[in-house]
Protein backbone atom coordinates (compact mmCIF):
# COMPACT_ATOMS: atom_id res chain seq x y z
CA UNK A 1 0.00 0.00 0.00
CA UNK A 2 1.49 3.32 -1.01
CA UNK A 3 -0.11 5.20 1.89
CA UNK A 4 1.27 3.71 5.05
CA UNK A 5 -1.79 4.70 7.02
CA UNK A 6 -4.25 4.31 4.15
CA UNK A 7 -5.29 7.94 4.11
CA UNK A 8 -5.74 10.05 1.04
CA UNK A 9 -6.68 13.58 0.18
CA UNK A 10 -9.95 13.48 -1.75
CA UNK A 11 -11.22 15.93 -4.29
CA UNK A 12 -15.02 15.50 -4.52
CA UNK A 13 -15.77 17.70 -7.54
CA UNK A 14 -19.17 19.10 -8.43
CA UNK A 15 -21.00 15.92 -9.45
CA UNK A 16 -20.44 13.79 -6.41
CA UNK A 17 -22.85 15.65 -4.17
CA UNK A 18 -25.47 16.15 -6.86
CA UNK A 19 -26.03 13.86 -9.84
CA UNK A 20 -23.57 11.23 -8.63
CA UNK A 21 -24.72 10.95 -5.05
CA UNK A 22 -24.87 7.19 -5.48
CA UNK A 23 -21.18 7.21 -6.39
CA UNK A 24 -20.30 9.31 -3.37
CA UNK A 25 -22.34 7.21 -1.00
CA UNK A 26 -21.14 3.86 -2.30
CA UNK A 27 -17.50 4.83 -2.49
CA UNK A 28 -17.50 6.04 1.11
CA UNK A 29 -19.09 2.79 2.30
CA UNK A 30 -16.58 0.71 0.36
CA UNK A 31 -13.72 2.77 1.77
CA UNK A 32 -15.02 2.04 5.27
CA UNK A 33 -15.02 -1.69 4.63
CA UNK A 34 -11.50 -1.55 3.21
CA UNK A 35 -10.27 0.66 6.06
CA UNK A 36 -9.30 3.53 3.80
CA UNK A 37 -9.61 7.11 4.87
CA UNK A 38 -10.40 9.84 2.38
CA UNK A 39 -10.19 13.40 3.65
CA UNK A 40 -12.03 15.92 1.53
CA UNK A 41 -10.09 18.95 0.38
CA UNK A 42 -11.51 21.89 2.31
CA UNK A 43 -12.96 24.78 0.31
CA UNK A 44 -12.35 23.11 -3.07
CA UNK A 45 -13.66 24.67 -6.28
CA UNK A 46 -14.85 23.37 -9.65
CA UNK A 47 -12.18 21.78 -11.84
CA UNK A 48 -13.43 23.61 -14.92
CA UNK A 49 -14.64 20.41 -16.50
CA UNK A 50 -13.90 20.20 -20.21
CA UNK A 51 -15.15 23.61 -21.27
CA UNK A 52 -13.06 26.09 -19.41
CA UNK A 53 -9.78 24.77 -20.82
CA UNK A 54 -10.97 25.36 -24.34
CA UNK A 55 -12.06 28.92 -23.57
CA UNK A 56 -9.38 30.48 -21.43
CA UNK A 57 -6.50 28.35 -20.46
CA UNK A 58 -4.55 30.30 -17.88
CA UNK A 59 -7.52 30.89 -15.55
CA UNK A 60 -8.52 27.27 -16.10
CA UNK A 61 -5.13 25.98 -14.96
CA UNK A 62 -5.11 28.41 -12.07
CA UNK A 63 -8.54 27.26 -10.96
CA UNK A 64 -7.34 23.67 -10.83
CA UNK A 65 -4.03 24.61 -9.25
CA UNK A 66 -5.92 26.26 -6.44
CA UNK A 67 -7.31 22.82 -5.56
CA UNK A 68 -3.86 21.28 -5.81
CA UNK A 69 -2.48 23.94 -3.51
CA UNK A 70 -5.21 23.41 -0.92
CA UNK A 71 -4.76 19.66 -1.13
CA UNK A 72 -1.00 19.90 -0.78
CA UNK A 73 -1.55 21.69 2.51
CA UNK A 74 -3.11 18.51 3.91
CA UNK A 75 0.20 16.71 4.05
CA UNK A 76 -0.93 13.65 2.08
CA UNK A 77 1.03 12.12 -0.76
CA UNK A 78 -1.89 11.27 -2.98
CA UNK A 79 -4.80 13.35 -4.16
CA UNK A 80 -7.65 11.15 -5.33
CA UNK A 81 -10.56 12.04 -7.58
CA UNK A 82 -13.51 9.79 -8.33
CA UNK A 83 -14.63 11.70 -11.41
CA UNK A 84 -12.57 11.03 -14.54
CA UNK A 85 -12.74 14.63 -15.74
CA UNK A 86 -11.66 16.00 -12.36
CA UNK A 87 -8.89 13.44 -12.27
CA UNK A 88 -7.71 14.40 -15.73
CA UNK A 89 -7.72 18.13 -15.04
CA UNK A 90 -5.88 17.79 -11.74
CA UNK A 91 -3.39 15.38 -13.25
CA UNK A 92 -2.86 17.48 -16.33
CA UNK A 93 -2.34 20.70 -14.40
CA UNK A 94 0.18 19.12 -12.06
CA UNK A 95 2.01 17.51 -14.97
CA UNK A 96 2.02 20.58 -17.25
CA UNK A 97 3.15 22.89 -14.46
CA UNK A 98 6.10 20.55 -13.99
CA UNK A 99 6.82 20.39 -17.70
CA UNK A 100 6.41 24.06 -18.61
CA UNK A 101 8.20 26.49 -16.27
CA UNK A 102 6.48 29.42 -17.91
CA UNK A 103 3.01 28.07 -17.10
CA UNK A 104 4.16 27.20 -13.60
CA UNK A 105 5.34 30.74 -13.05
CA UNK A 106 2.11 32.35 -14.28
CA UNK A 107 -0.17 29.98 -12.41
CA UNK A 108 1.73 30.53 -9.21
CA UNK A 109 1.52 34.27 -9.71
CA UNK A 110 -2.25 33.88 -9.91
CA UNK A 111 -2.28 31.66 -6.83
CA UNK A 112 -0.16 34.17 -4.94
CA UNK A 113 -2.96 36.72 -5.26
CA UNK A 114 -4.93 34.42 -2.97
CA UNK A 115 -1.95 33.72 -0.74
CA UNK A 116 -1.48 30.23 -2.20
CA UNK A 117 1.34 28.36 -3.91
CA UNK A 118 1.79 24.94 -5.51
CA UNK A 119 4.99 23.13 -6.49
CA UNK A 120 4.24 20.64 -9.25
CA UNK A 121 5.00 17.07 -8.26
CA UNK A 122 4.12 17.64 -4.60
CA UNK A 123 1.05 15.45 -4.98
CA UNK A 124 0.40 12.29 -6.89
CA UNK A 125 -2.96 12.74 -8.60
CA UNK A 126 -4.85 9.46 -8.88
CA UNK A 127 -8.18 8.08 -9.89
CA UNK A 128 -10.15 6.10 -7.33
CA UNK A 129 -10.08 3.02 -9.57
CA UNK A 130 -6.29 3.09 -9.63
CA UNK A 131 -6.14 3.38 -5.82
CA UNK A 132 -8.35 0.33 -5.35
CA UNK A 133 -6.50 -1.75 -7.95
CA UNK A 134 -2.94 -0.72 -7.11
CA UNK A 135 -2.98 -0.10 -3.37
CA UNK A 136 -5.51 -2.71 -2.31
CA UNK A 137 -5.32 -5.22 -5.14
CA UNK A 138 -7.72 -7.74 -6.59
CA UNK A 139 -6.87 -10.41 -4.11
CA UNK A 140 -7.43 -8.28 -1.01
CA UNK A 141 -10.66 -6.95 -2.46
CA UNK A 142 -11.73 -10.50 -3.26
CA UNK A 143 -11.21 -11.41 0.39
CA UNK A 144 -13.91 -8.96 1.41
CA UNK A 145 -16.46 -10.40 -0.99
CA UNK A 146 -19.31 -12.06 0.86
CA UNK A 147 -21.97 -11.88 -1.88
CA UNK A 148 -20.21 -12.72 -5.13
CA UNK A 149 -21.87 -11.17 -8.19
CA UNK A 150 -22.36 -14.60 -9.72
CA UNK A 151 -24.27 -14.56 -12.96
CA UNK A 152 -24.17 -10.82 -13.49
CA UNK A 153 -22.87 -9.90 -16.94
CA UNK A 154 -20.96 -6.64 -16.65
CA UNK A 155 -19.74 -4.42 -19.46
CA UNK A 156 -16.72 -2.56 -18.04
CA UNK A 157 -16.81 1.01 -19.30
CA UNK A 158 -13.68 3.07 -18.68
CA UNK A 159 -14.58 6.10 -20.76
CA UNK A 160 -11.98 8.10 -22.56
CA UNK A 161 -10.33 10.03 -19.73
CA UNK A 162 -8.97 7.63 -17.10
CA UNK A 163 -6.41 5.90 -19.24
CA UNK A 164 -5.35 8.83 -21.38
CA UNK A 165 -3.10 10.63 -21.97
CA UNK A 166 -0.76 9.20 -19.33
CA UNK A 167 -1.45 6.12 -17.28
CA UNK A 168 0.00 2.85 -16.13
CA UNK A 169 -2.67 0.97 -18.01
CA UNK A 170 -3.08 0.06 -21.65
CA UNK A 171 -4.73 3.17 -23.10
CA UNK A 172 -6.40 1.28 -25.93
CA UNK A 173 -7.69 -1.78 -24.19
CA UNK A 174 -7.31 -1.55 -20.43
CA UNK A 175 -8.31 -4.54 -18.33
CA UNK A 176 -7.99 -3.43 -14.70
CA UNK A 177 -11.69 -2.69 -14.25
CA UNK A 178 -12.40 -6.05 -15.91
CA UNK A 179 -10.15 -7.80 -13.42
CA UNK A 180 -11.66 -5.91 -10.52
CA UNK A 181 -15.16 -6.98 -11.56
CA UNK A 182 -13.97 -10.55 -11.91
CA UNK A 183 -12.59 -10.37 -8.38
CA UNK A 184 -16.18 -9.65 -7.29
CA UNK A 185 -17.38 -12.79 -9.03
CA UNK A 186 -19.07 -11.04 -11.95
CA UNK A 187 -18.92 -12.23 -15.55
CA UNK A 188 -17.13 -9.62 -17.62
CA UNK A 189 -18.20 -9.35 -21.23
CA UNK A 190 -15.86 -8.25 -23.96
CA UNK A 191 -16.68 -4.58 -24.50
CA UNK A 192 -14.78 -3.34 -27.54
CA UNK A 193 -15.91 0.25 -27.02
CA UNK A 194 -14.73 0.34 -23.44
CA UNK A 195 -12.58 3.44 -23.92
CA UNK A 196 -14.74 5.26 -26.42
CA UNK A 197 -16.27 8.63 -25.59
CA UNK A 198 -19.70 9.00 -23.94
CA UNK A 199 -20.20 12.38 -25.54
CA UNK A 200 -19.30 14.38 -22.46
CA UNK A 201 -21.05 17.72 -22.51
CA UNK A 202 -21.96 17.29 -26.15
CA UNK A 203 -25.47 16.49 -24.93
CA UNK A 204 -25.78 20.23 -24.28
CA UNK A 205 -24.09 21.44 -27.45
CA UNK A 206 -24.88 18.96 -30.18
CA UNK A 207 -27.39 16.34 -29.20
CA UNK A 208 -27.03 14.52 -32.47
CA UNK A 209 -23.34 13.87 -31.90
CA UNK A 210 -23.83 12.83 -28.31
CA UNK A 211 -26.76 10.50 -28.97
CA UNK A 212 -24.87 8.68 -31.71
CA UNK A 213 -21.93 8.12 -29.37
CA UNK A 214 -24.27 6.87 -26.66
CA UNK A 215 -26.12 4.64 -29.08
CA UNK A 216 -22.90 2.93 -30.08
CA UNK A 217 -22.03 2.18 -26.48
CA UNK A 218 -25.47 0.84 -25.65
CA UNK A 219 -25.62 -1.21 -28.83
CA UNK A 220 -22.24 -2.72 -28.15
CA UNK A 221 -23.12 -3.64 -24.57
CA UNK A 222 -26.42 -5.10 -25.74
CA UNK A 223 -24.69 -7.12 -28.41
CA UNK A 224 -22.60 -8.82 -25.76
CA UNK A 225 -25.69 -9.39 -23.57
CA UNK A 226 -24.48 -7.21 -20.73
CA UNK A 227 -26.88 -6.90 -17.78
CA UNK A 228 -25.28 -3.67 -16.65
CA UNK A 229 -22.69 -1.17 -17.78
CA UNK A 230 -20.36 -0.24 -14.99
CA UNK A 231 -18.69 3.19 -15.04
CA UNK A 232 -15.97 5.01 -13.15
CA UNK A 233 -17.12 8.54 -13.95
CA UNK A 234 -20.21 10.64 -13.05
CA UNK A 235 -20.34 12.15 -16.53
CA UNK A 236 -20.38 8.77 -18.27
CA UNK A 237 -23.00 7.47 -15.86
CA UNK A 238 -25.24 10.48 -16.28
CA UNK A 239 -25.09 10.47 -20.06
CA UNK A 240 -25.75 6.78 -20.51
CA UNK A 241 -28.44 6.70 -17.86
CA UNK A 242 -30.31 9.97 -18.32
CA UNK A 243 -30.27 10.00 -22.12
CA UNK A 244 -30.96 6.33 -22.69
CA UNK A 245 -34.66 6.96 -23.32
CA UNK A 246 -33.79 9.83 -25.67
CA UNK A 247 -31.48 7.53 -27.61
CA UNK A 248 -34.30 5.00 -27.82
CA UNK A 249 -36.69 7.65 -29.07
CA UNK A 250 -34.31 9.08 -31.68
CA UNK A 251 -33.08 5.77 -33.05
CA UNK A 252 -36.17 3.69 -32.48
CA UNK A 253 -34.26 1.30 -30.22
CA UNK A 254 -35.35 -0.25 -26.97
CA UNK A 255 -32.40 -0.41 -24.60
CA UNK A 256 -32.89 -0.83 -20.86
CA UNK A 257 -29.37 -1.21 -19.59
CA UNK A 258 -28.79 0.01 -16.06
CA UNK A 259 -25.67 2.16 -15.67
CA UNK A 260 -23.97 1.66 -12.31
CA UNK A 261 -20.89 2.98 -10.56
CA UNK A 262 -18.20 0.40 -9.97
CA UNK A 263 -18.23 1.17 -6.26
CA UNK A 264 -21.92 0.24 -6.10
CA UNK A 265 -21.10 -3.24 -7.35
CA UNK A 266 -18.13 -3.55 -5.01
CA UNK A 267 -20.43 -2.58 -2.15
CA UNK A 268 -23.02 -5.18 -3.11
CA UNK A 269 -20.36 -7.87 -3.30
CA UNK A 270 -19.11 -6.78 0.12
CA UNK A 271 -22.60 -7.37 1.45
CA UNK A 272 -23.49 -3.72 2.02
CA UNK A 273 -27.23 -3.04 1.80
CA UNK A 274 -28.35 -1.66 -1.56
CA UNK A 275 -29.98 1.41 -0.02
CA UNK A 276 -26.65 2.37 1.55
CA UNK A 277 -25.06 2.29 -1.89
CA UNK A 278 -27.36 4.79 -3.54
CA UNK A 279 -29.35 2.22 -5.51
CA UNK A 280 -32.70 3.58 -6.63
CA UNK A 281 -31.27 6.88 -7.83
CA UNK A 282 -30.59 5.51 -11.28
CA UNK A 283 -33.04 6.38 -14.04
CA UNK A 284 -32.93 3.06 -15.88
CA UNK A 285 -33.81 0.82 -12.93
CA UNK A 286 -31.30 -1.79 -11.88
CA UNK A 287 -33.59 -4.10 -9.91
CA UNK A 288 -34.19 -6.57 -12.73
CA UNK A 289 -30.48 -6.98 -13.36
CA UNK A 290 -29.68 -7.28 -9.68
CA UNK A 291 -32.13 -10.13 -9.31
CA UNK A 292 -29.66 -12.19 -11.26
CA UNK A 293 -26.94 -11.84 -8.67
CA UNK A 294 -26.34 -14.98 -6.75
CA UNK A 295 -27.53 -17.15 -9.59
CA UNK A 296 -25.00 -19.27 -11.30
CA UNK A 297 -24.24 -18.24 -14.85
CA UNK A 298 -27.31 -18.80 -17.01
CA UNK A 299 -27.08 -22.31 -18.41
CA UNK A 300 -25.81 -22.44 -21.96
CA UNK A 301 -28.24 -23.69 -24.62
CA UNK A 302 -28.06 -27.45 -24.34
CA UNK A 303 -27.24 -28.22 -27.92
CA UNK A 304 -24.46 -30.75 -27.57
CA UNK A 305 -21.23 -28.77 -28.04
CA UNK A 306 -19.82 -30.99 -30.71
CA UNK A 307 -16.92 -29.16 -32.24
CA UNK A 308 -17.36 -28.57 -35.89
CA UNK A 309 -14.72 -30.88 -37.30
CA UNK A 310 -13.62 -28.25 -39.76
CA UNK A 311 -13.27 -25.34 -37.31
CA UNK A 312 -9.78 -24.01 -36.70
CA UNK A 313 -8.45 -23.57 -33.14
CA UNK A 314 -8.48 -20.10 -31.51
CA UNK A 315 -5.41 -18.73 -29.76
CA UNK A 316 -5.86 -18.77 -25.97
CA UNK A 317 -5.97 -15.39 -24.17
CA UNK A 318 -2.63 -13.83 -23.25
CA UNK A 319 -1.73 -14.92 -19.73
Partner 1 sequence: MTEEKVGVYICHCGNNIAGTIDVEAVSEWAATLPHVAVARDYRFMCSSLGQELVEQDIKELGLTRVVVAACSPHMHEPTFRKACERAGLNPYLMEMANIREHASWVHQHDKEAATEKAKALISGAVKRALELSPLEPSRVPIQEATLVVGGGIAGITTALEIADAGHPVYLVEREPSIGGHMAQLDKTFPTLDCSSCILTPKMFDTGNHPNITLLSYSEVEEVSGYVGNFTVRVRKKARKVNTDLCTGCGECWSRCPAKVVDTVYEAGLGYRTAIYRPFPQAVPKYPVIDVENCIYFQKGTCKACEKFCPTGAIDFEQEDEILELEVGNIVLATGYDLFDARRIPQYGYGRLANVFTSLEFERMVNAAGPTGGKVVLRDGVTEPQSVAIIHCVGSRDKNYNPYCSATCCMAALKFGHLVKEKTDAEVYSFYIDVRAAFKDYEEFYNRVLEEGVHFVRGRVAEVTDAARQPGEEGKLIVQVEDTLIGKQRRIPVDMVILMAAMEPRADAEEIAHLFGVGCSAAGFFTERHPKLDPIATMSDGIFIAGACQGPKDIPATVGQGAAAAARVLTLISQGEVEIEPVRAIIDEERCSGCRICNNLCPYGAIDYIEDPGVSRVNPALCKGCGTCVAACPSQVITGQHFTFESIMSQIEGLLYDVSNGHETYAEPAPLETA
CB of 251 to partner 1, least distance (A): 12
- Asked whether the beta carbons of 14 and 81 are under 8 A apart, the reply is no
Residues 143-182 that bind partner 1 (CB under 8 A): 170, 172-173, 175
Q: CB-hemisphere CA count at 13 Å for 190? A: 3
- Residue 5 CB neighbours (<10 A): 10
Binding residues for partner 1, how many (CB under 8 A)?
22
Per-residue x/- track, 182-201, partner 1 (CB under 8 A): --------x-xx--------
Q: Say what the alpha-carbon torsion angle 59, 63, 69, 74 is, to the nearest 10 degrees.
A: 180
Residue 52 makes contact with partner 1 by CB under 8 A: no
**CB count in 10 Å sphere of residue 272:** 21
Nearer to partner 1, 40 or 190 (CB): 190
First to last CA, the chain: 25
Q: Which is nearer to partner 1, 139 or 308 (CB)?
A: 308
Q: Which residue, 31 or 217, is less far from partner 1 as judged by CB? A: 217
Tell which one of 43, 54, 306, 312 touches partner 1 (CB under 8 A): 312
- What is the smallest separation between the CB atom of 218 and partner 1, expressed in angstroms? 11
Q: Is 208 in the site for partner 1 (CB under 8 A)?
A: no
**Residue 305 interacts with partner 1 (CB under 8 A)?**
no
Q: With respect to partner 1, which residue has the nearer C-beta, 106 or 196?
A: 196
- Select 144 or 196, whichever has its Cβ closest to partner 1: 196
Under the criterion CB under 8 A, does residue 287 sit at the interface with partner 1?
no
Q: Note whether 97 and 120 are within 8 A (CB).
A: yes
Closest separation in Å from C-beta 138 to partner 1: 19
Amino acid sequence: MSQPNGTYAFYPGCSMGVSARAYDQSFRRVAEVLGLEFQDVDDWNCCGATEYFTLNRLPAYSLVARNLSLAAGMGKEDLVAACSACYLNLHKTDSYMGKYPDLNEKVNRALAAGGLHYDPGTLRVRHLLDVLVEDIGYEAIGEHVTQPLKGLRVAPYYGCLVVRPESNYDPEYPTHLDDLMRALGATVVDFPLKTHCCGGHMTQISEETAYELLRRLLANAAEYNADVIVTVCPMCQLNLDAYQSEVNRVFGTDYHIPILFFTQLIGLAFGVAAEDLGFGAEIVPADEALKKIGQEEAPKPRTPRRRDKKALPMPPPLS
